[in-house]
Amino acid sequence: MFTGLVEALGRVESVVDEPGGKRFALRWEGLDAPLAIGESVAVNGCCLSVVASGPGRFEVQAGPETLLRTNLGSRGPGDPVNLERSVRVGDRLGGHIVQGHVDATAVLRERRREGEFEFFAFDVDPAWTALMVEKGSIAVDGVSLTLVDVRPAGFSIMLIPHTLAVTTLGALEPGDRVNVEADVLAKHVQKLLGQVR
């Protein structure tokens, strides 16, 4: 489980194709100690297990389902990625409950400046907007954010300067794809009400 508060802006060092998947080597500058093998790390909001680790770097593997549902398959050497270690019992939950189970990708449709802030509007499969509410929570590339509004096939968010500076979201341009995870509480309510897809 994660909070959606990105700890670091990492970089992809290398990507190696494996049967059915990919192996990513990632750079994490300023990491205080090597990550443990098997430890969970959210990479652009996608929960992955550490399979190799060293000072300031680690490796993860992404299988077919992960590559199908996320934007990780399009990431290459030099690309930035949002990084967050899993939350520990007793830590502050400053964002919201993020599982690291990406539901889908959304496409940035519009980006505009409003004073110091920036407004982003995304298009997404309408099946997912049923789980979104205005002023509710959403994870976009692993960043815990508040929804501004929700349309039948899209949603919008407003970003503060800090988020723009320390996450991958600041570099987004219209047409770019982001990972989206709907609020897990909404998923459970939907299932309990018998509205399972």
| Domain residue limits, the chain | 8-85, 104-192
pLDDT in tens, 46-74: 999 999 999 999 999 999 999 999 999 99
Residue 194: the pLDDT is: 80
Q: Does 90 have pLDDT greater than 60?
A: yes
Q: Tell me the fold of 104-192.
A: Elongation Factor Tu (Ef-tu); domain 3 (2.40.30)
Distance CA 160, CA 170 (A): 10
Provide the token pair at 74.
């399009």
pTM assigned to the model: 0.92
Residue 97 has pLDDT above 90, yes or no: no
- Predicted confidence band at 129 (pLDDT cuts at 50, 70, 90)? very high
Please give the pLDDT value at position 146. 96
**Gyration radius of the chain over CA positions:** 16
Cβ atoms of 66 and 72 within 8 Å: the answer is yes
Q: What is the pLDDT of residue 32?
A: 85
Q: Are 54 and 43 in contact (CB under 8 A)?
A: no
Q: Give the three-state DSSP class for 98.
A: strand
Q: What is the pLDDT of residue 149?
A: 96
Under 8 Å between Cβ of 21 and 62:
yes
Strand 137-140 and strand 177-182: the pairing is antiparallel
Confidence of residue 91 (pLDDT cuts 50, 70, 90): confident
Tell me the pLDDT tens digit for each residue of 18-29.
999 999 999 999
Arch. (CATH architecture) of 8-85 = Beta Barrel (2.40)
What is the model's pLDDT at position 195? 56
**CA nearest to 104, candidates 132, 124, 79:** 124
* Higher pLDDT, residue 187 or 50: 50
Please give the backbone phi and psi of residue 170, each rounded to the nearest 5 degrees, phi first. -65, -25
Q: Are 10 and 27 in contact (CB under 8 A)?
A: yes
CA distance 171 to 164: 8
* Structure-token match 């509004």, residue found: 149
Residue-level pLDDT at 118: 98
Q: Is the pLDDT of residue 87 over 80?
A: yes
Tokens of 180: 């989206």
* 8-85 shares its CATH topology with 104-192: yes
pLDDT per position as a tens digit, 137-184: 999 999 999 999 999 999 999 999 999 999 999 999 999 999 999 988
